[in-house]
């Protein structure tokens, strides 16, 4: 097929490296085939409402190292269950409008940059006949089929630096310091940041934790003369037999509850049961912000260039992925609604245990 025009969207939660992907897709398409590109604003909402901007060399210049996304993003706008605003009572299926936008612009393909939710929606559009190439993005690193998503390394770096700073005050005041990190259903961020920063206890969504075990681990450290402890907790971690700690109820537009508060719960348990003073720090959206690390700039550039290559070669219904050191592609249907979670027998879990980190069992 002759490729004339490529559409690009960035959807879901933001993360460092999105602009680097946009830049690589556009420059590769222009340099190799003189293909035009258009960016739709605020994720799939831009497809429904046809909010767009042209993407040419000038538009993507000097954005490689810039965090966020020049296209805007949204994790609230599902074209198959669409809300025009928060006053709307029930969602409507506006997927047809997104299809009309695709046709109106004469697109040869749509590059969808996002995480599990975005790529799952992209698969639905692929089934409706759109030529889709996905690019896996998320600080959670939970997209199936790829060794690593871009944005993850930047988030781990940010979290690790924060924990390093917290460690010095924990040591000075002889406290147990609980750091709550993002990670609703997958604990990759908490695991990697915790191991990198020398966390003494790491609690993940995949391993329900024993409150007694956590308190006993802090006590053991104290009895050995360790006068402080660092506890890294993913926001989706749960006590054995318990439920998620919820900050806000079900959001009708996202279809999910907002988690938050498990860190304080763990700190309270430690203080009540050990007598050791405990404090909580919630890193929150700082993990998503800032400039991408050099690793993520390179990975995002490789992903974007490969996505453009797949479009030019007529390969659709796939997402680019990292396998070993190679950039390859993986079927969207195997990604959709199938997040990748931490396995209890993963290498890094074994390494964490081997150096004495308690994982809550």
Q: How many domains does the chain have?
A: 2
Residue that the structure tokens 């490529």 belong to: 6
85 lies in some domain = yes
Residues 86 and 182 in one domain: no
Closest CA to 14 of 334, 250, 291: 291
Residues 247 and 232 in one domain: yes
256 lies in some domain = yes
Please give the residue range of the domain that contains residue 19. 5-150+292-335
Residues 10 and 84 in one domain: yes
3-state secondary structure of 350: helix
Alpha carbons 319 and 134: distance in angstroms, whole number: 4
Stated pTM of the model: 0.96
pLDDT at position 176 is 97
CATH number for 193: 3.40.50.460
Residue that the structure tokens 């992925």 belong to: 321
Residues 275 and 214 in one domain: yes
- What would the pLDDT profile of 88-116 be if each residue is shown by its tens digit? 999 999 999 999 999 999 999 999 999 99
354 lies in some domain = no
Alpha carbons 117 and 262: distance in angstroms, whole number: 24
Q: Is 140 noted as a catalytic residue in this protein?
A: yes
Closest CA to 178 of 312, 278, 315, 73: 278
Residues 221 and 160 in one domain: yes
Residues 84 and 100 in one domain: yes
90 lies in some domain = yes
pLDDT at position 167 is 96
Choice among 140, 142, 200, 296 that is catalytic: 140
Maximum Cα interatomic distance, the chain, rounded to a whole number of Å: 71
Residues 163 and 271 in one domain: yes
CB of 289 within 8 A of CB of 73? Answer: no
pLDDT at position 256 is 85
**pLDDT less than 70: residues of the chain:** none
CATH number for 34: 3.40.50.450
Element housing 102 (H / E): helix 95-104
Alpha carbons 165 and 293: distance in angstroms, whole number: 19
C-alpha neighbours within 13 Å on the C-beta side of residue 91: 15
């Amino acid at each position: 097929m002759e490729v004339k025009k490529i559409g690009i969207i960035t959807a879901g939660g933001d993360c460092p490296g999105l602009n680097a992907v946009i830049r690589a897709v556009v420059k590769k398409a222009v340099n190799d085939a003189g293909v035009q590109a258009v960016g739709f604003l605020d994720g799939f909402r831009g497809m429904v409402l046809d909010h767009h901007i042209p993407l040419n060399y000038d538009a993507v210049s000097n954005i490689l190292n810039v965090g966020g996304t020049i296209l805007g993003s949204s994790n609230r706008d599902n074209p198959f269950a669409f809300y025009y605003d928060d006053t709307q009572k029930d969602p409507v299926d506006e997927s047809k409008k997104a299809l009309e936008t695709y046709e109106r612009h004469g697109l040869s393909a749509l590059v969808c940059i996002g995480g599990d939710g975005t790529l799952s929606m992209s698969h639905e559009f692929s089934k409706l006949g759109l030529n889709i190439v996905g690019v896996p993005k998320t600080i959670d690193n939970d997209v199936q089929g790829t060794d690593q998503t871009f944005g993850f390394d930047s988030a781990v770096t940010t979290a690790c630096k924060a924990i390093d700073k917290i460690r010095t005050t924990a040591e000075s005041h002889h406290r147990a310091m609980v750091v709550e990190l993002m990670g609703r259903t997958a604990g990759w961020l908490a695991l990697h940041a915790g191991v990198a920063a020398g966390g003494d206890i790491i609690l993940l969504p995949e391993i329900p934790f024993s409150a007694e075990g956590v308190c006993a681990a802090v006590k053991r450290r104290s009895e050995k003369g360790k006068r402080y402890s660092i506890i890294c907790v993913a926001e989706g971690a749960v006590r054995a037999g318990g439920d998620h700690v919820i900050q806000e109820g079900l959001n009708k537009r996202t279809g999910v509850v907002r988690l938050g508060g498990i860190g304080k719960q763990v700190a309270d348990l430690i203080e009540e049961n050990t007598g050791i003073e405990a404090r909580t720090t919630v890193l929150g959206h700082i993990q998503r912000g800032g400039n991408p690390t050099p690793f993520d700039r390179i990975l995002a550039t490789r992903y974007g260039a490969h996505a453009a290559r797949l479009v030019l070669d007529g390969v659709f219904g796939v997402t680019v992925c990292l396998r070993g050191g190679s950039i390859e592609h993986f079927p969207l249907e195997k990604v959709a609604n199938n997040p990748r979670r931490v396995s209890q027998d993963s290498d890094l879990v074994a390494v964490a245990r081997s150096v004495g980190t308690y994982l809550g069992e």
